[in-house]
Homo-oligomer: A and B are copies of this chain.
């Protein structure tokens, strides 16, 4: 098999980057707000969530460029969450993807508003009536609901709150699992599911892809925790070791680094199992799962 995951991801990242540039135009007023949103959106993200959405869609359909508005909305919500997480009152990070964080460049007030703006514009984009040309309205509406659920208090926001509330505390593995499934897992799971929903997949396929999404979401965050312990600041583009400093509730912290690695490995194997029935059409999803395990940034 000569499938090249690097060029596969590079092509899709370029699509997403171009589409995002057309959504947030820095020439609009008030200029610093639009600049701040664009700065964080274009700071060199790997576009994992959009790639997952498109790869999931491609199991059923050929042209995943069709779903770029949905993929962009997901990336906008992800970017807003990074901007708010980095704020001094939250994780107080100065570096993100090797660059100064949004509030370091534009100040805290504009960073908060840039986050609020990206979140709101994601829903503006998702509810665009012209999308109705390509998708039945019930599908469009269920995608909005799926994403709002994943991003909200029963998903990402709830996980981030639990994360903050668990700092400097003795937490158990259940709390760490709550944080990981909510803070990171929910949006990764939703990215995979939205791809399937937009392709009008059957219930069994949706169930298998949901399992895949849940497994790689958890693995992704465990690897993130491991990288914070073992990773290299210059490769990561953010400071390693900050979890320990804030006494964050991490997987290595509660079960140790070796057990964390075994768990991540097991989750990726389980994710691969969920893809068997899709045969060669799931090759991109397979390779993304492997990348998640092997990444060093």
Contact surface of A with B, Cβ cutoff 8 Å = 28-30, 32-34, 37, 80, 84, 87, 89-90, 107-110, 112-113, 115-117, 119-121, 123-124, 127-129, 132, 137-138, 140-142, 144-145, 148-149, 151-154, 157-158, 160-162, 164-165, 178
Contacts of A162 in B (CB 8 A): 29-30
Contacts of A30 in B (CB 8 A): 158, 161-162, 165
Cross-chain pairs A/B with CB under 8 angstroms, 19 sampled: A28-B153, A30-B161, A30-B162, A33-B153, A80-B116, A84-B113, A89-B107, A90-B109, A110-B165, A113-B160, A117-B157, A119-B119, A119-B120, A120-B148, A120-B151, A123-B123, A124-B149, A129-B141, A132-B141
Contacts of A138 in B (CB 8 A): 129, 132, 137
Contacts of A153 in B (CB 8 A): 28, 33-34, 37, 117, 120-121
Distance in angstroms from A279 CB to nearest chain B CB is 32
By beta carbon, the residue of chain B nearest A90 is B109
Chain A interface secondary structure, helix, strand, loop or mixed?
Answer: helix
The answer to whether B121 touches A148 (Cβ under 8 A) is yes
Contacts of A160 in B (CB 8 A): 113
Contacts of A132 in B (CB 8 A): 138, 141
- In the complex the two chains form, what is the Cα distance from A134 to B108 in whole Å? 42
The answer to whether A148 touches B161 (Cβ under 8 A) is no
By beta carbon, the residue of chain B nearest A167 is B109
Contacts of A109 in B (CB 8 A): 89-90, 164
The answer to whether B164 touches A110 (Cβ under 8 A) is yes
The answer to whether A152 touches B121 (Cβ under 8 A) is yes
Contacts of A128 in B (CB 8 A): 145
- In the complex the two chains form, what is the Cα distance from A164 to B123 in whole Å? 24
Contacts of A33 in B (CB 8 A): 153, 157-158, 161, 165
The answer to whether B124 touches A148 (Cβ under 8 A) is yes
Contacts of A164 in B (CB 8 A): 109-110, 113
Distance in angstroms from A145 CB to nearest chain B CB is 4
Distance in angstroms from A24 CB to nearest chain B CB is 8
- In the complex the two chains form, what is the Cα distance from A124 to B37 in whole Å? 23
Contacts of A80 in B (CB 8 A): 116
The 4 closest A-B CB pairs, nearest first, are A89-B108, A120-B152, A124-B148, A33-B161
Known: A153-B37, A157-B120. A148 touches B165 (CB 8 A): no
Contacts of A151 in B (CB 8 A): 120
Contacts of A178 in B (CB 8 A): 29
